[in-house]
A and B are shown apart, each in its own frame.
Chain A
Amino acid sequence: DTEVTQTPKHLVMGMTNKKSLKCEQHMGHRAMYWYKQKAKKPPELMFVYSYEKLSINESVPSRFSPECPNSSLLNLHLHALQPEDSALYLCASSQEWVATNEKLFFGSGTQLSVL
Protein backbone atom coordinates (compact mmCIF):
# COMPACT_ATOMS: atom_id res chain seq x y z
CA ASP A 1 0.00 0.00 0.00
CA THR A 2 1.73 3.18 -1.19
CA GLU A 3 -1.08 5.62 -0.66
CA VAL A 4 -2.06 8.26 1.82
CA THR A 5 -5.80 8.06 2.38
CA GLN A 6 -7.83 11.02 3.55
CA THR A 7 -11.45 11.10 4.69
CA PRO A 8 -13.83 12.66 4.10
CA LYS A 9 -13.19 13.93 0.57
CA HIS A 10 -15.62 16.80 1.06
CA LEU A 11 -16.86 18.48 4.22
CA VAL A 12 -19.29 21.33 4.79
CA MET A 13 -19.54 22.70 8.30
CA GLY A 14 -20.97 25.63 10.15
CA MET A 15 -18.90 27.96 12.27
CA THR A 16 -20.15 26.36 15.49
CA ASN A 17 -19.57 22.76 14.43
CA LYS A 18 -16.85 20.37 15.54
CA LYS A 19 -15.51 18.02 12.93
CA SER A 20 -12.40 15.96 12.28
CA LEU A 21 -10.31 15.19 9.22
CA LYS A 22 -8.59 11.84 9.07
CA CYS A 23 -5.45 10.67 7.35
CA GLU A 24 -3.99 7.18 7.18
CA GLN A 25 -0.86 5.60 5.69
CA HIS A 26 0.53 2.08 5.89
CA MET A 27 3.94 2.67 4.37
CA GLY A 28 5.74 2.68 7.72
CA HIS A 29 6.44 6.39 7.42
CA ARG A 30 7.37 8.14 10.66
CA ALA A 31 6.68 11.70 9.55
CA MET A 32 3.22 13.03 8.77
CA TYR A 33 2.13 16.48 7.71
CA TRP A 34 -0.91 18.72 7.35
CA TYR A 35 -0.93 21.28 4.58
CA LYS A 36 -3.57 23.86 3.70
CA GLN A 37 -4.15 24.82 0.08
CA LYS A 38 -6.35 27.71 -0.98
CA ALA A 39 -7.65 27.82 -4.53
CA LYS A 40 -4.93 28.55 -7.10
CA LYS A 41 -2.31 28.80 -4.35
CA PRO A 42 0.49 26.44 -3.32
CA PRO A 43 0.16 24.17 -0.30
CA GLU A 44 1.20 25.80 2.98
CA LEU A 45 2.58 23.77 5.85
CA MET A 46 0.50 23.69 9.02
CA PHE A 47 1.89 20.88 11.20
CA VAL A 48 4.57 18.21 11.18
CA TYR A 49 4.54 15.09 13.32
CA SER A 50 7.69 13.03 13.67
CA TYR A 51 7.49 9.72 15.51
CA GLU A 52 4.01 10.70 16.71
CA LYS A 53 5.24 13.90 18.33
CA LEU A 54 4.38 17.38 17.15
CA SER A 55 7.56 18.83 15.70
CA ILE A 56 6.35 21.90 13.81
CA ASN A 57 3.35 24.13 14.33
CA GLU A 58 3.45 26.93 11.77
CA SER A 59 1.60 29.39 14.02
CA VAL A 60 -1.72 27.78 13.21
CA PRO A 61 -4.78 29.12 15.12
CA SER A 62 -5.92 26.94 18.00
CA ARG A 63 -9.25 26.23 16.28
CA PHE A 64 -7.16 23.64 14.38
CA SER A 65 -6.00 20.86 16.67
CA PRO A 66 -3.83 18.05 15.28
CA GLU A 67 -3.53 14.62 16.77
CA CYS A 68 -1.36 11.62 15.94
CA PRO A 69 -2.80 8.62 17.80
CA ASN A 70 -0.31 6.19 16.26
CA SER A 71 2.29 6.01 13.52
CA SER A 72 -0.30 5.32 10.82
CA LEU A 73 -2.95 7.86 11.69
CA LEU A 74 -3.15 11.63 11.69
CA ASN A 75 -6.22 13.64 12.61
CA LEU A 76 -7.06 17.30 12.37
CA HIS A 77 -9.79 18.42 14.74
CA LEU A 78 -11.74 21.48 13.71
CA HIS A 79 -13.76 23.73 15.99
CA ALA A 80 -15.26 27.19 15.58
CA LEU A 81 -13.80 27.68 12.13
CA GLN A 82 -14.20 30.80 10.06
CA PRO A 83 -15.31 31.03 6.43
CA GLU A 84 -11.75 31.99 5.46
CA ASP A 85 -10.64 28.55 6.65
CA SER A 86 -12.38 27.04 3.63
CA ALA A 87 -9.66 25.28 1.65
CA LEU A 88 -8.27 21.95 0.55
CA TYR A 89 -6.52 20.24 3.46
CA LEU A 90 -3.77 17.91 2.40
CA CYS A 91 -2.14 15.21 4.43
CA ALA A 92 1.31 13.93 3.51
CA SER A 93 3.80 11.44 4.86
CA SER A 94 7.48 10.61 4.43
CA GLN A 95 9.94 8.04 5.77
CA GLU A 96 11.57 10.55 8.08
CA TRP A 97 11.16 14.24 8.70
CA VAL A 98 14.55 15.90 8.53
CA ALA A 99 16.36 13.28 6.47
CA THR A 100 17.98 14.34 3.23
CA ASN A 101 16.13 14.06 -0.02
CA GLU A 102 12.89 12.86 1.56
CA LYS A 103 9.96 12.36 -0.81
CA LEU A 104 6.54 13.39 0.40
CA PHE A 105 3.53 11.26 -0.44
CA PHE A 106 0.34 13.31 -0.56
CA GLY A 107 -3.25 12.34 -0.03
CA SER A 108 -5.95 13.59 -2.36
CA GLY A 109 -7.18 16.03 0.26
CA THR A 110 -10.35 17.05 2.04
CA GLN A 111 -12.19 19.98 0.45
CA LEU A 112 -13.55 21.94 3.39
CA SER A 113 -16.26 24.58 3.16
CA VAL A 114 -17.11 26.64 6.23
CA LEU A 115 -20.49 28.36 6.08
Chain B
Amino acid sequence: AQRVTQPEKLLSVFKGAPVELKCNYSYSGSPELFWYVQYSRQRLQLLLRHISRESIKGFTADLNKGETSFHLKKPFAQEEDSAMYYCALKESYGKLTFGQGTILTVHP
Protein backbone atom coordinates (compact mmCIF):
# COMPACT_ATOMS: atom_id res chain seq x y z
CA ALA B 1 0.00 0.00 0.00
CA GLN B 2 1.29 3.41 -0.91
CA ARG B 3 2.31 5.21 2.23
CA VAL B 4 2.98 8.65 0.80
CA THR B 5 1.04 10.40 -1.93
CA GLN B 6 2.08 13.55 -3.72
CA PRO B 7 -0.78 14.21 -6.13
CA GLU B 8 1.01 16.77 -8.30
CA LYS B 9 3.90 15.63 -10.49
CA LEU B 10 4.41 19.18 -11.77
CA LEU B 11 3.65 22.53 -10.19
CA SER B 12 4.31 25.89 -11.80
CA VAL B 13 4.00 29.28 -10.14
CA PHE B 14 5.27 32.78 -10.76
CA LYS B 15 7.87 34.44 -8.60
CA GLY B 16 6.29 36.04 -5.57
CA ALA B 17 3.21 33.84 -5.65
CA PRO B 18 2.32 31.48 -2.79
CA VAL B 19 3.10 27.84 -3.30
CA GLU B 20 1.76 24.70 -1.68
CA LEU B 21 3.07 21.21 -2.40
CA LYS B 22 0.66 18.57 -1.23
CA CYS B 23 1.53 15.42 0.65
CA ASN B 24 -0.84 12.87 2.15
CA TYR B 25 0.21 9.80 4.04
CA SER B 26 -1.20 6.50 5.18
CA TYR B 27 0.26 5.06 8.36
CA SER B 28 -1.32 3.46 11.40
CA GLY B 29 1.46 4.32 13.82
CA SER B 30 2.90 7.64 14.88
CA PRO B 31 4.39 9.08 11.69
CA GLU B 32 7.62 10.93 11.24
CA LEU B 33 7.41 13.09 8.15
CA PHE B 34 10.04 14.92 6.18
CA TRP B 35 10.45 17.02 3.08
CA TYR B 36 13.55 16.38 1.00
CA VAL B 37 14.60 18.56 -1.92
CA GLN B 38 16.84 18.03 -4.92
CA TYR B 39 18.02 21.11 -6.77
CA SER B 40 19.39 20.79 -10.29
CA ARG B 41 22.73 18.94 -10.29
CA GLN B 42 22.78 18.72 -6.51
CA ARG B 43 22.32 15.81 -4.15
CA LEU B 44 19.12 15.01 -2.35
CA GLN B 45 18.99 16.91 0.94
CA LEU B 46 16.68 17.39 3.87
CA LEU B 47 14.53 20.51 3.75
CA LEU B 48 12.57 20.14 6.95
CA ARG B 49 11.03 17.64 9.38
CA HIS B 50 7.71 17.86 11.14
CA ILE B 51 9.01 17.31 14.66
CA SER B 52 11.26 20.34 14.49
CA ARG B 53 8.43 22.66 13.41
CA GLU B 54 11.07 24.70 11.66
CA SER B 55 11.02 27.13 8.77
CA ILE B 56 13.75 26.58 6.23
CA LYS B 57 14.24 28.93 3.27
CA GLY B 58 10.80 30.33 4.03
CA PHE B 59 9.11 26.92 3.77
CA THR B 60 6.92 25.49 6.49
CA ALA B 61 4.96 22.26 6.80
CA ASP B 62 2.38 21.35 9.40
CA LEU B 63 1.41 17.82 10.22
CA ASN B 64 -2.37 17.45 10.18
CA LYS B 65 -3.18 14.07 11.66
CA GLY B 66 -6.90 14.46 11.07
CA GLU B 67 -6.40 14.94 7.35
CA THR B 68 -3.23 12.79 7.29
CA SER B 69 -1.43 15.54 5.44
CA PHE B 70 1.93 17.27 5.57
CA HIS B 71 1.71 19.98 2.94
CA LEU B 72 4.72 22.19 2.21
CA LYS B 73 4.03 25.90 1.95
CA LYS B 74 5.84 29.10 1.15
CA PRO B 75 4.10 32.48 0.97
CA PHE B 76 6.33 34.02 -1.71
CA ALA B 77 8.07 31.65 -4.13
CA GLN B 78 11.52 32.48 -5.50
CA GLU B 79 13.14 31.26 -8.72
CA GLU B 80 15.78 29.42 -6.70
CA ASP B 81 13.02 27.29 -5.18
CA SER B 82 12.68 25.44 -8.48
CA ALA B 83 13.54 21.83 -7.70
CA MET B 84 12.20 18.33 -7.13
CA TYR B 85 10.49 17.98 -3.77
CA TYR B 86 9.90 14.64 -2.05
CA CYS B 87 7.68 14.06 0.92
CA ALA B 88 8.93 11.12 3.00
CA LEU B 89 7.53 8.98 5.79
CA LYS B 90 9.67 7.17 8.29
CA GLU B 91 8.11 3.99 9.61
CA SER B 92 8.63 2.75 13.15
CA TYR B 93 11.32 0.23 12.23
CA GLY B 94 13.35 2.85 10.44
CA LYS B 95 12.43 2.60 6.76
CA LEU B 96 12.12 5.93 4.97
CA THR B 97 9.59 5.83 2.12
CA PHE B 98 9.43 8.62 -0.42
CA GLY B 99 6.45 9.96 -2.31
CA GLN B 100 6.59 10.19 -6.11
CA GLY B 101 7.87 13.73 -5.96
CA THR B 102 6.70 17.10 -7.25
CA ILE B 103 8.74 19.17 -9.67
CA LEU B 104 8.29 22.82 -8.74
CA THR B 105 9.05 25.44 -11.36
CA VAL B 106 9.03 29.09 -10.36
CA HIS B 107 8.81 31.40 -13.35
CA PRO B 108 10.32 34.90 -13.30
Contacts and interface: CB of A to CB of B under 8 A. Distances in A.
Interface string B88-108: 001011111111110000000
B90 A56 contact: no
B93 A43 contact: no
A31 B96 CA distance: 13
B32 interface: yes
Given A102-B90, A103-B49, A90 B44 contact: yes
Q: Which of under 10, 10 to 19, 20 to 34, or 35 or more describes the interface residues of B?
A: 20 to 34
B17 interface: no
B64 interface: no
Interface in A27-80: 31, 41-45, 48, 50, 55-56, 58
Contact of A106 (B45, B93, B97, B100): B45
A97 B94 contact: yes
A113 interface: no
A104 B52 contact: no
A97 B95 CA distance: 9
25 contacts: A31-B94, A41-B100, A42-B98, A42-B100, A42-B101, A43-B44, A45-B95, A45-B96, A45-B97, A48-B94, A48-B95, A55-B94, A58-B95, A90-B44, A98-B93, A98-B94, A101-B32, A101-B52, A103-B46, A103-B49, A104-B36, A106-B44, A106-B45, A107-B43, A108-B43
Interface of A: 31, 41-45, 48, 50, 55-56, 58, 90, 97-98, 100-109
